[in-house]
Amino acid sequence: MYNFKFSVGPWNVHSGGDSYGPAVRNEIILEEKLRKFSELGFSAIQFHDDDVVPNINKFTEEEIKKQASKIKSLLDKYNLAAEFVAPRLWMDMHTIDGGYTSNSETDRDYAIWRSLRSIDIAKVLGCNKIVLWLAREGTLCSESKSAVDGVNYLINAINIMLDYDKTIKVLIEPKPNEPIDRSFCGTIGHVMGVSAATKDPSRVGGLLESAHAILAGLDPANEIGFGLAMGKLWGVHLNDQNGIKFDQDKAFGVENLRQAFNQIKILMENNYGANGEYIGLDVKAMRTTRDTDSYKHLENSLKIVKLLEAKVRKYDYHFQDTCIKNRDYEALEMYVIEHLMRS
Ligand code: XLS
Ligand code: MG
């Protein structure tokens, strides 16, 4: 079993504004977040392209690389690696109708431009992973786009990224809905299908976020298992979610402990991390959280992962095998629950 390394994104520490109300905490500058992440025990940072280069549209390709090298120095200062760069395609005026799958050719071109700039940034930061969270790739009005064209546009966009740089890997982070109503690529199964249809499936894999799997009505541990079985689970975003509603990004394990345990169990059983993969967190602080507790949800999530790791190490695999042999799943289920409740 491998010792996990952890990653986090700057957006995981935020001022608490939501769709219904303004910010309630002070903004913290990037350098301070990096310093604190390092202190908390994170080894790598997840970035959106515009976390590295704010107002990215205003800059030339050379200026973008120059700005990225300043962030690289900050990472070095705090002994942090960059895990991935993700084009933030859902905020811009060009991506109102989606990025890669927009009905506007100009906007599709813009989405590709941002993706290639994300690759440039990743190279400067010393990482080779590009994450695509396909926020607006789908429909709000079902008849407004063809799902066939949508999926093909997506494959085409990924092929352009693969051609642009032969060393990068593309990780699709699936989510079934929100902000889009019907996503074109909602689960890890969809991701594997898209991967297989690209020009280099060996460089296209997945990143599974627990909350997104739950929103699809699926068990995150099973989704993790699917990606692992395909040899293409290159990232995870552990968090939690209370049922099928808006994306909550709660601290890991706070809603469904058994489900959280099974995520850690399957990752440990399959030596996740042995090829340099990180346990990423993608968690939000509650709106009620005070400034002084701005990092509490991260500390809690790390603590819960570590407590569950210890639970897996103490898990009686011999008893599991015996129950499986006797097809006594009632006993196995009770054992798991008692194991989790034992102090
Ligand atoms: C949002 C996504 C986002 C990605 C990175 O739901 O989880 O945070 O992880 O773009
Ligand atoms: Mg995520």
CB 93 within 8 A of CB 114: no
Question: Is 59 inside a domain boundary?
Answer: yes
Å from CA of 173 to ligand 1 middle: 8
Question: Is 258 inside a domain boundary?
Answer: yes
Distances (CA, A) of 152 to 89, 101, 184, 185: 18, 9, 10, 11
Number of domains within the chain: 1
DSSP 33-81: HHHHHHHHT--EEEEEHHHHSTTGGGS-HHHHHHHHHHHHHHHHHTT-E
What is the best residue among 282, 284, 298 to mutate for testing ligand 1's pocket, by most ligand atoms within 8 Å of CB? 282
Question: Is 343 inside a domain boundary?
Answer: no
Segments forming the whole domain that contains residue 62: 6-309
Q: Does residue 173 have its Cβ closer than 6 Å to ligand 1?
A: yes
Å from CA of 131 to ligand 1 middle: 9
Å from CA of 177 to ligand 2 middle: 13
Q: How far apart are CA 102 and CA 193, in angstroms?
A: 21
Q: Which helix (DSSP H) or strand (DSSP E) does residue 172 occupy? A: strand 169-173
Question: Is 115 inside a domain boundary?
Answer: yes
pLDDT band at 253, cuts 50/70/90?
very high
- The 10s digit of each residue's pLDDT in 118-156 is 999 999 999 999 999 999 999 999 999 999 999 999 999
pLDDT value, residue 343:
85
Question: Is 336 inside a domain boundary?
Answer: no
- Is residue 1 over pLDDT 90? no
Question: Is 211 inside a domain boundary?
Answer: yes
Question: Is 262 inside a domain boundary?
Answer: yes
- The 10s digit of each residue's pLDDT in 175-225 is 999 999 999 999 999 999 999 999 999 999 999 999 999 999 999 999 999
Query: Across residues 241-262, what is the average pLDDT?
Result: 97
Question: Is 132 inside a domain boundary?
Answer: yes
Specify the amino acid at residue 98. G
Global pTM reads 0.97
Q: Which CATH number covers residue 292? A: 3.20.20.150
What is the best residue among 19, 51, 52, 173 to mutate for testing ligand 1's pocket, by most ligand atoms within 8 Å of CB? 173
Q: Does residue 209 have its Cβ closer than 6 Å to ligand 1?
A: yes
